Amino acid sequence: MTPQVRELAALVAFPSVSSAPSPALRACARWLVDKLRRLGARDARLVETGGPPVVMGSVGQGRSVLIYGHYDVQPAGPASAWRSPPFAPVVRDGYLYGRGASDAKGQLYAHLAAVERLGARLPCRVVFVIEGEEEIGSPHLPAVLAAHAPYLASEVAVVSDNAVLGPDRPSLTYALRGDLYLDVEIAGAHPELHSGNFGGAVANALRVLVRALASLHDAGGAATVPGLADDVVVPPPAERRYMRTTGPSDRELRAEAGGAPLAGAAAYERATIRPSIELAGLTGGYTGAGIRGVIPARARAKLDVRLVPRQDPERVHRQIFARLAAAVPRGLTLTTRERMRAQPVLLPRDHPAARAAVRAYRRGFGVAPVFVRAGGSIPVVSALAERTTPVLMGFALPDDRAHGADERFSLAMLAKATATSAAFLEEIAR
């Protein structure tokens, strides 16, 4: 490992899972403060939020460029699914493996490395804002941005938390889907009952939940919630043609998804300009080994709903609740609880900051980037858009397995990302 890869591995080694808080979050934040101080950010510090702290610090002088990052990561999921432990990063075949390597510690680290490389030649003031709650919807960040508005004031905010199309196909993301994450619960009217004595005679809370969830989609998997499509704005034909020409093909997305058939053609459109309702988890009744003859008294599910521009999370929540409730008979109780909300985002492609980013990618990758839409959500982007112009400069690869087992970050991409970040700081300062 080079010294830089070793340093990135140290950052990835923190099990900074925000949905299951542990001291690792604060330890990771302290590590970043130390790193910023070594880069010359004498004002680097932790800002308390009530949750994991936000790391802030600034380097250099001149026009301000805000660089946003997050040090928290998704849960690792089942350890058995990983080839090497998720928080013991190792390099194999040119990739650093570990939870958060790609999403987004590797991408954040490229900016730190760029500032280090520029050193005294840094032509602007770079102010870092690195939070620890991105993966749970950034509940505290908007207030922190407001409280520190003068310190953070900038014309542009760089966010690197998404993917390019390939190692030689840089791309600049101009649209994100929004996110609405719901916990759904059906509580039965009965305690848990013997499935022999009562099978067929009482309402089964788990069966009712299954029936309610099944009503959200048609046989082909398309969402069928009444009203859901009302606020969906389909992009104009010219933009859809551009998407078809420049975006990932079905074949590429199929490879990225593990090689199996997709749910239909035009997967890039399905995953970006259309809303989706995914069932992310479900549990109810007896799930242990062997058999237990019971009629469950309650059951829970997690719905991950992705929204496109103009859709309002609150309205969509009401529509989904109504659809689920229609399948719940009297005597059983349906509860939904919003666990995360992110607004959909559509950014201008002709802003000077976007043009500077295009030039920076050309310098860093040797080829001009295309503009792409992303299916994922970055909750903070809509908060940033209220104060400055976000620029979404992703450095992940489509097969990095963000959120999955064996997540990784390409070391070749680390080099290109560092060069692109340094180039952007030079371009924006011109």
Binders of a copy of itself in range 379-398 (CB under 8 A): 398
- How far is 105 from 107, CA to CA, in rounded Å? 5
303 versus 384: smaller Cβ distance to a copy of itself: 303
Q: Which range touches a copy of itself (CB under 8 A), out of 16-24, 54-62, 91-99, 121-129?
A: 16-24
**At residue 55, what is the residue type?**
V
Q: Which of residues 64-93 bind a copy of itself (CB under 8 A)?
A: 74-75, 77, 81
189 is a contact residue toward a copy of itself (CB under 8 A): yes
* Residues near a copy of itself (CB under 8 A), total: 97
Asked if residue 330 binds a copy of itself (CB under 8 A), the reply is: yes
The verdict on 261 binding a copy of itself (CB under 8 A) reads yes
222 contacts: CB under 8 Å, gap ≥ 6: none
Residue 194: burial class (beta carbons within 10 Å; 0-12, 13-18, 19+) = exposed
Query: Is 346 an interacting residue with respect to a copy of itself (CB under 8 A)?
Result: no
Region 139-178 residues binding a copy of itself, contact defined as CB under 8 A:
163, 177
Query: Can you tell me which of 3, 50, 150, 191 binds a copy of itself, judged by CB under 8 A?
Result: 191
Residue 281 in contact with a copy of itself, rule: CB under 8 A: yes
Pairing of strands 370-374, 45-47: unpaired
**Residue recorded with tokens 């609405």:** 180
| Nearer residue to a copy of itself within complex by CB, 116 or 400 | 400
Mark the segment that binds a copy of itself (CB under 8 A) among 91-99, 207-215, 362-370, 416-424. 207-215
Task: Enter the tokens of residue 262.
Answer: 């997709």
Which of 40, 139, 142, 285 touches a copy of itself by CB under 8 A? 285
Distances (CA, A) of 394 to 92, 195, 360, 379, 420: 22, 52, 12, 15, 10
State which of residues 240, 304, 385, 429 lies at the interface with a copy of itself (CB under 8 A). 304
Does position 50 bind a copy of itself by CB under 8 A? Answer: no
Greatest C-alpha distance within the chain: 79
Give the shortest CB-407-to-a copy of itself separation in angstroms: 10
Contact call for residue 288 and a copy of itself (CB under 8 A): yes
Among residues 147 and 322, whose Cβ is nearest to a copy of itself? 322
The DSSP code for 63 is S
Using the contact rule CB under 8 A, the part of the chain among 38-46, 139-147, 203-211, 350-358 near a copy of itself is 203-211
Nearer to a copy of itself, 153 or 214 (CB): 214
Beta strands in 19-143 (DSSP E): 45-47, 54-59, 64-70, 90-92, 95-97, 125-131
Question: Among residues 119, 331, 352, 366, which is the contact residue for a copy of itself, using CB under 8 A?
Answer: 331
Q: Strand, coil or helix: what is 73?
A: strand
Within 13 Å, how many C-alpha atoms sit on residue 236's CB side?
1
Q: Per CB under 8 A, which of residues 358..377 are in contact with a copy of itself?
A: 374-377
Buried b / exposed e over 325-334, threshold 16 CB at 10 Å, is: eebbeeebeb
Residue-by-residue DSSP string for 121-184? G--SEEEEEEES-GGGT-SSHHHHHHHTHHHH--SEEEE--SB-SBTTB-EEEEEE-EEEEEEE
In terms of C-beta density within 10 A (0-12 exposed, 13-18 middle, 19 or more buried), how is residue 176 classed? Answer: buried
Which of 156, 164, 193, 397 touches a copy of itself (CB under 8 A)? 193
Point out which span in 36-44, 286-294, 386-394, 412-420 binds a copy of itself (CB under 8 A). Answer: 286-294
